[in-house]
Amino acid sequence: MQKEISTYFNQISALVLRIPSENIEELVRIIFEAYKKGRRVFIFGNGGGSATSSHFVCDLSKGTATPGKPRLKALSLSDNVPLITAWANDTDYTNTFGEQLKNLVEEGDVVIGLSGSGMSPNVINAFRVANNVGAISVLLSGYRGGEAANVADKSIIVPSEDMQHIEDIHLMLCHIVFRMVRRRIRGYESYQE
């Protein structure tokens, strides 16, 4: 049992070191630029990615709140269950995120989709909606990024085919990005009322 635990931790440690830090820094830059321009960040995913998107939005929305500074505008498209099920039931599950974005997304917004395999049709379709209006689309994935990596503007891919490893590292990435964005917001002095 202890060997199984150690093996799992060792595998995660090895994977984390294979994520290019410049990809993480680029996502931080993208989110911070959107913040400075008053743009919004939309995050979504299925299953574990859905839970991570809600967690990430909580951190970005509440955790970056700084007295005297504007708030970062972040929203999880995975949270509105009635709207998700309405689109899935009345049209198709592939529309659950893209149709939500059509009501909200604008040029310069950031759209972050989590898909362990990179093959989730509703994530891919949402990226297409984002790209059509000039939003920046970013994929967090595993495997080799799948079709979603071909559609998204930017990708951070966990080089693994183990879904639990991929989801663990996605949450770690979200925490790293949140902390770096928070530090930049706290140090940002250029905001004019």
Model confidence at 32: pLDDT above 90: yes
Confidence at residue 151, expressed as pLDDT on a 0 to 100 scale: 98
Mean pLDDT of 84-113: 97
Three-state SS for 8-47 is HHHHHHHHHCCCCHHHHHHHHHHHHHHHHCCCEEEEEECC
Confidence of residue 1 (pLDDT cuts 50, 70, 90): confident
Q: What percent of the chain has pLDDT over 70?
A: 97
Query: Residue with structure tokens 């949450």?
Result: 171
CATH class assigned to 2-187: alpha beta
User: Is the pLDDT assigned to residue 192 strictly greater than 60?
Assistant: no
190 confidence band (pLDDT: 50, 70, 90): low
- The DSSP code sequence of 54-78 is HHHHHHHHHHT--TTSPPPEEEETT
Q: How confident is the model over 102-119, as pLDDT tens digits?
A: 999 999 999 999 999 999
pLDDT tier for residue 94 given thresholds of 50, 70 and 90: very high
Give pLDDT tens digits for 141-187. 999 999 999 999 999 999 999 999 999 999 999 999 999 999 999 99
Cβ-proximal residues to 59 (8 Å cutoff; 6+ apart), any chain: 174, 175, 178
Other C-beta atoms closer than 10 Å to the C-beta of 41 total 25
Nearest one of 118, 120, 140, 108 to 24, comparing CA atoms: 140
Sorted by sequence, the CB contacts under 8 Å of residue 64 that are 6+ apart come out as 35, 71, 72, 178, 181, 182, 185
DSSP conformational letter for 116:
S
Predicted pLDDT at 188: 83
Tokens linked to 113: 């989709």
Q: What are the residue ranges spanned by the domains of the chain?
A: 2-187
Contacts of 56 (CB under 8 A, 6+ apart): 43, 74, 76, 112, 174, 177, 178
Mean local confidence (pLDDT), 95-106 = 97
- Tell me the average pLDDT across 30-40: 98
- Mean pLDDT of the residues in the chain: 96
